[in-house]
Amino acid sequence: MDRSSDALTLAPPWIAACVIVQMLWTKNFFADFNERLKTVPFVAGDEFSVADITTFVTVDFAAGGMKMNIPTAFDALQAWYGKVSDRASSKA
């Protein structure tokens, strides 16, 4: 049995609403960053920066904590995530 769906079902309605809003925000976040990464190799432009680190952590949290992986249709975001994941510093 999936405990996350049980928890959401048993949660007060305002918590369930917050979760739904957060999931919608995350979908929009993925879409926005996918569009951005179609035009530049890294979040803030041509160089890897703290913006990439922050975005990487956010995507990891969405994938792990919220069970929301990057949709396969977001190819630019998928490619960026793979490139950043391959960096030695992301494995520390």
Which range in 4-8, 11-15, 33-37 is most confidently predicted, on average pLDDT?
33-37
Domain interval for residue 44: 14-91
In a domain, residue 1? The reply is no
CATH number at residue 24: 1.20.1050.10
Residue with tokens 């919220």, as numbered in its chain = 66
Residue 80 inside a domain? The answer is yes
Structural domain count of the chain: 1
If 0-12 CB within 10 Å is exposed, 13-18 middle and 19+ buried, where does residue 29 land?
Answer: middle
* Within-domain flag for 64: yes
User: Sign of torsion, CA 37 42 30 71?
Assistant: positive
Per-residue pLDDT tens over the stretch 21-33: 888 999 999 999 9
In a domain, 73, yes or no: yes
In this prediction, residue 4 carries a pLDDT of 53
Task: Write out pLDDT tens, residues 36-83.
Answer: 999 999 999 999 999 999 999 999 988 888 888 999 999 999 999 999
> What is the C-alpha separation between 32 and 52, in angstroms, rounded?
14
Predicted structure pTM score: 0.79
- Greater confidence, 91 or 3? 91
